[in-house]
Amino acid sequence: MKIDPTTIQRLKEKITLYREFLKNWLEPSNLERLRPKLEFQTGILAGFALLASVLLGVTNCSTEGTIQRRLDEDLKKSLEEVVPSVLHDNDMLQEKVNVPSAEYNIGANETTVYIAKKSGKVTAVCFKFIAPDGYSGPINMIMGIDRDGNILGVRVLSHKETPGLGDKIEVAKSDWILSFVGRSLDNLTLAQWAVKKDGGVFDQFAGATITPRKSVQAIHRGLQLFKAHQTQLINP
């Protein structure tokens, strides 16, 4: 784990300050003078507070690297699920572009798009997005799209939808999410980008129409985001 120099220097300064404080405060003459006073108890509390601050700083430094590695590993796994490995030979985590996305209602004012390349040519992109209006709350998803705008894959990362009903958006619970593979803004009309109950081509779930409806709508908006920035993304 690598700790940046600024953090190391900040910890050294805190430790030096703490040592100097203890050295002066623990002088026998000082303790004898302070013992009957309120400042004595206050000083003890201050000492423990300062020690706790230093220990927390050290603990944070020792764990943040591990946490970041775990997050990167989870993200890499998600990217691999929606962008086939045969389509890229680069590390997508290291090649990314931020694009404005506030107008698309996908949960962020700016979206990080990960770029897949094969022999230096952009083959696909991938990004996380949110359906903010699921039945029980936001539905977090990730989507891979080839350079021509066709969906390579969609996966649900997290949600709070009803178990046994709305949770069928998970690939582990049903193959519903796989029905988006190959879909695009070009091979489906706007009206078709809806659940069948609303005149579209995507199935809804018995007893849970809102979840698939809002998922379909969010995926469609994600495609619109890609189309708006397609030139920039495939020709970085």
| Distance from C-alpha of 71 to C-alpha of 49, rounded to nearest angstrom | 31
Name the region of 97 (left: φ>0; alpha: ψ -120 to 50; beta: rest).
beta
DSSP state of 90: S
What pLDDT digit, counting tens, does each position of 135-165 carry? 999 999 999 999 999 999 999 999 999 999 9
What pLDDT digit, counting tens, does each position of 42-75 carry? 666 666 666 666 556 655 555 555 666 676 677 7
* Model pTM above 0.85: no
Question: Mean pLDDT, the chain, as a whole number?
Answer: 85
CB atoms within 10 A of CB 22: 13
* CA-only gyration radius of the chain, Å: 26
SS3 22: helix
- The tokens for 199 are 């005149």
What pLDDT digit, counting tens, does each position of 22-44 carry? 677 567 776 666 555 545 556 66
Confidence class for position 1, pLDDT limits 50, 70, 90: very low
What pLDDT digit, counting tens, does each position of 114-142 carry? 999 999 999 999 999 999 999 999 999 99
Return the pLDDT at 99.
97
- The mean per-residue pLDDT over the stretch 67-88 comes to 82
| Distance from C-alpha of 200 to C-alpha of 164, rounded to nearest angstrom | 23
- The mean per-residue pLDDT over the stretch 103-107 comes to 96
| Distance from C-alpha of 202 to C-alpha of 36, rounded to nearest angstrom | 78
88-113 burial, b at 16+ Cβ within 10 Å, e below that, comes to bebebeebeeebebeebbbbbeebeb
